Amino acid sequence: DAGITQSPRHKVTETGTPVTLRCHQTENHRYMYWYRQDPGHGLRLIHYSYGVKDTDKGEVSDGYSVSRSKTEDFLLTLESATSSQTSVYFCAIRENNPQETQYFGPGTRLLVL
Amino acid sequence: AQKITQTQPGMFVQEKEAVTLDCTYDTSDPSYGLFWYKQPSSGEMIFLIYQGSYDQQNATEGRYSLNFQKARKSANLVISASQLGDSAMYFCAMRGRGFGNEKLTFGTGTRLTIIP
């Protein structure tokens, strides 16, 4: 258990509304990630963070922003949700081991109507 | 660019038999890591096993082993003595090593069903 929680776990929202997903970790990991999972695509990286206020884009970052004001929290914001952002969102941390294994949170299921 | 290919969308295996899940990869990174994750129907992503590109031996973790053939760019997961609880989606993933290589590239997964 990597001590990762995500909130909310499920959310239904309407097109055009802002949405913020939260990832919280308790073990002081430096690296945190947001992925989305869609059928036929596996998981794809949206954004990641390598420290407080240090973030970078992944391969599917359009329409998303992130913030990390403290080590334990990494927020993902959809400024104006679209139906194409209906997905399952996973947060991950990178373990400080030689393999640099990424461990995932339980996921947030988001439906944009 | 990195690419992971999992060519088996679904597999059915009799309980207690061994099963091999295929994974081939492509990368230009000289150093990389290969990972397998399990996703049961409950939805969480569970790390199973890791293989480094320079590791001399195939990785093993309990009933899981990784058949790593670097020249063929394959990293197949072998589950010995399958159990009903092994029914799940299995994802192969890779990541280049070194600064800036943060993305895990995933395959599309294989759905494994264990038959009693």
| Interface residue of B38, B44, B68, B102 to substitute, partner A, most A CBs within 10 Å | B102
Whether the predicted pLDDT of A110 surpasses 80: yes
DSSP state of A17: -
Distance CA B51, CA A99 (A): 8
Whether the predicted pLDDT of B36 surpasses 90: yes
Are B103 and A45 in contact (CB < 8 Å)? yes
User: CB-based contact (8 Å) between B12 and chain A?
Assistant: no
pLDDT reported for residue A1: 60
Are A31 and B106 in contact (CB < 8 Å)? no
Taking contacts as CB-CB distances below 8 angstroms, the residues of chain B near A45 are 102-104
Residue A8: asked if its preceding bond is cis (omega within 30°), the reply is: yes
Q: What is the pLDDT of residues B78-107, one digit of tens each?
A: 999 999 999 999 999 999 877 677 789 999
Whether the predicted pLDDT of B65 surpasses 90: yes
A:B CB pairs within 8 Å? 58
